[in-house]
Structure 1
């Protein structure tokens, strides 16, 4: 497949890197330094130019392109790129936008703008926040098989009950598979005697109930079901969408916004949210409003330094769990090192969603882990599958190392995979795979 990516920033570069191993990728950007950087960093052709220009698109080979991804930081630019591509080709177009109102307009008429698929950075970031808030200790969460199966990655701390236990000792939960342990740069497929160490990332796949139960064993932090108090700091679009999604889940969050006009607007749009007009860095106000008693605090201001500050203030005041939006990717590790529970980078979330969509041409669903070092795939068993009418124990011998069959669904029922389980046509299988063997696994299954 020939792919044209317009925009060589963090999102475009990440997409190009993910797709370059399997497809011919051309990247377009106006910035000479970005073009040079992406040329040296990835196996792609990079062109300096304006992606809204038909001439530049033709130079990139638009007439042969199967997919055009517009991923600049400008919403209007990305829409124009898709429209220009549609004017000269039938290629599939994907546009990244920040503003949710553009997404809503597109959803009402999906032929609008010449865009075939639209990704809203702010909305996806808010959804990621709410998903992660639902599981204490989770660094990543995804659902499969229409919600019957859940995958989650947990960071194990030194005081976690499963720290220094073997996988066999930690395996106390029905319908749960230990798919992988992430240790530094190493992806380990665990055996029964594999020891779970502090600072390991543990990837589990199973029913939502079993994953939630495991989350409670990993950390005592509250789940959404246990949370009595949720505070969103910042009335940005991400903050608004996060509060709205918490309302959808049946909660009545509090939202802090400094600007009076914006606070009034949010109060009208969020009927079940208590909107407080205040500066979140006001320590006295935080004390008066008992922010330290919150179960979950989300920092969604439009400034990384302020998000770090208010998160630390909330943590110092006693908040159980802090989640912060971080625009600069190099700050993510810093936030988590100094005590923020989860730092979420909107550009990384967007890049993963776009890459996920492109991968779904061959699978039912995809989740990427650890900067694309591993993936979880949902695959429907058909006549060409190696698993069809075979026992899992027999098939696993023919698969490369780095693969775990995590869950099976059949006719709306969850089946925990065992060695003697026989797969049937139409079954959905959720598989963990190291990226290095991904192509071989996808072809076999």
Structure 2
């Protein structure tokens, strides 16, 4: 399979790194320094402006199976996809930041020459909203058809789990999770920063019945956020100010989410929250390489970069791959439909660890002698390094 990745930034680099293990990948960027950052990967590179026909032709777009546009500019990514459809017939993927484009694309799908449009905003907001009622979990993501994957701090007796890369990975239905953990909905949630992620997360939490306060330093942006969120309390002020925390009683929050555009401010916001006694603190971290640093400080980190890249990689997996949880550092969990090639195999004949199996609507916990059947949906837990080489 031939894949063209336009944009050699953090997201594009992550996508190229995963896909180059199994496929022919070409990375295009007009910045020579950015291209140099991917030179160690097993990829071809093209220096040039991908919104120009000659650049995509140099990348041999006519033979490409996928054209993935991951630059920092939404318009550029959409134009690249439209141009790719004119010059060839690749499956096109555009990374976008603005939700307006997602909404427009969603009206008719494949609009603007884009087969798949990916935005980190709903991915990140939903991942935090899912887990916010489960203090014993760092993350909780829907894998497939009511099957959830969690990164657990504690695992109650009787709940299926495995350890991969030092992480306790649970796979269960929501009913099982509720019985095991007895979720507690936080009454008060504090969000530092008025980003798009913050707004969407606030909407989700308000629907859950939470009282939400948002602190935004820029008055114009604060007013915009306030107009979007009638049921949230939006405070204009310095989120690092002791007097603001004291006067607005921000420390009454049970959960804090730090969601600035700069990771340095996000880290500071999370640390300030913990200093004021809010132990359950989330952070929206753009640079995925910083997640481990946040976690060492006791902060649950969620990365838009990682969420976007892994959603794009999942789109290239083919029809047998039905779901992916890739936000847990060092771990990948896939939902895979069993075909003739996998049928009759036992757990020790599969890569990684076989988790619960969905067969005819029933969840089965496989034993060592368990044999797969065609049509089963399996959960497969592998280390991140193996995921790029995994053949399905």
How big is each residue's C-alpha offset from its partner over 1:230-255, in whole Å with a ceiling of 9 and x where there is no partner?
11111121211111122233333222
Q: Counterpart in 2 of 1:19?
A: 19
Tell me which of 343, 347, 354 is aligned to 2:301. Answer: 343
Unaligned runs of 5+ in 1: 157-161, 163-169, 184-200, 217-222
Q: Counterpart in 2 of 1:166?
A: none
Q: CA deviation at 1:332?
A: 3.3
- The correspondence of residues 42-57 of structure 1 with structure 2, limited to 5 A, is 42-57=41-56
How high is the TM-score relative to the length of structure 1? Answer: 0.80
Unaligned runs of 5+ in 2: none
- The correspondence of residues 357-376 of structure 1 with structure 2, limited to 5 A, is 357-368=315-326, 373-376=330-333
Aligned pair in 2 of structure 1 residues 405, 232: CA closer, same or farther (>3 Å)? same
Aligned pair in 2 of structure 1 residues 211, 299: CA closer, same or farther (>3 Å)? same
Equivalenced residues, count:
392
Q: Counterpart in 2 of 1:219?
A: none
Counterparts of 1:47 and 1:325, CA distance in 2: 32
Verify the 8 A CA contact 1:206 1:406 in the aligned structure 2. Answer: no
Q: Counterpart in 2 of 1:409?
A: 358
* Greater CA drift, 376-385 or 113-122: 376-385
Q: Counterpart in 1 of 2:228?
A: 269
Q: Does 1:207 align with 2:173?
A: yes
Aligned pair in 2 of structure 1 residues 310, 377: CA closer, same or farther (>3 Å)? closer
How big is each residue's C-alpha offset from its partner over 1:208-243, in whole Å with a ceiling of 9 and x where there is no partner?
344456667xxxxxx5x3311111111121211111
Q: Counterpart in 2 of 1:377?
A: 334
Verify the 8 A CA contact 1:255 1:274 in the aligned structure 2. Answer: yes
Q: Does 1:430 align with 2:379?
A: yes
Q: CA deviation at 1:102?
A: 1.1
SS of the aligned residue for 2:16 comes to: helix
Q: Does 1:249 align with 2:248?
A: no
How big is each residue's C-alpha offset from its partner over 1:172-202, in whole Å with a ceiling of 9 and x where there is no partner?
12xx32222323xxxxxxxxxxxxxxxxx21
Q: Counterpart in 2 of 1:30?
A: 30
Aligned pair in 2 of structure 1 residues 126, 73: CA closer, same or farther (>3 Å)? same
Verify the 8 A CA contact 1:294 1:320 in the aligned structure 2. Answer: no
Aligned pair in 2 of structure 1 residues 405, 171: CA closer, same or farther (>3 Å)? farther
Q: Counterpart in 1 of 2:77?
A: 78
Q: Counterpart in 2 of 1:4?
A: 4
Q: CA deviation at 1:358?
A: 1.8
Q: CA deviation at 1:438?
A: 5.4
Tell me which of 143, 149, 161 is aligned to 1:178. Answer: 161
Verify the 8 A CA contact 1:62 1:85 in the aligned structure 2. Answer: yes
Counterparts of 1:317 and 1:435, CA distance in 2: 35
Counterparts of 1:354 and 1:440, CA distance in 2: 16
Aligned pair in 2 of structure 1 residues 433, 330: CA closer, same or farther (>3 Å)? closer
Counterparts of 1:439 and 1:13, CA distance in 2: 14
Verify the 8 A CA contact 1:296 1:322 in the aligned structure 2. Answer: yes
Q: Counterpart in 2 of 1:152?
A: 150
Aligned pair in 2 of structure 1 residues 268, 145: CA closer, same or farther (>3 Å)? same
Counterparts of 1:229 and 1:144, CA distance in 2: 28
Verify the 8 A CA contact 2:354 2:379 in the aligned structure 1. Answer: yes
Q: CA deviation at 1:114?
A: 0.8
Aligned pair in 2 of structure 1 residues 258, 406: CA closer, same or farther (>3 Å)? same
Counterparts of 1:317 and 1:263, CA distance in 2: 23
Verify the 8 A CA contact 1:335 1:343 in the aligned structure 2. Answer: yes
SS of the aligned residue for 1:39 comes to: coil
Q: Counterpart in 2 of 1:194?
A: none
Aligned pair in 2 of structure 1 residues 410, 271: CA closer, same or farther (>3 Å)? farther
Q: CA deviation at 1:78?
A: 0.6
Counterparts of 1:396 and 1:364, CA distance in 2: 19
Aligned pair in 2 of structure 1 residues 348, 440: CA closer, same or farther (>3 Å)? closer
Aligned pair in 2 of structure 1 residues 437, 240: CA closer, same or farther (>3 Å)? closer
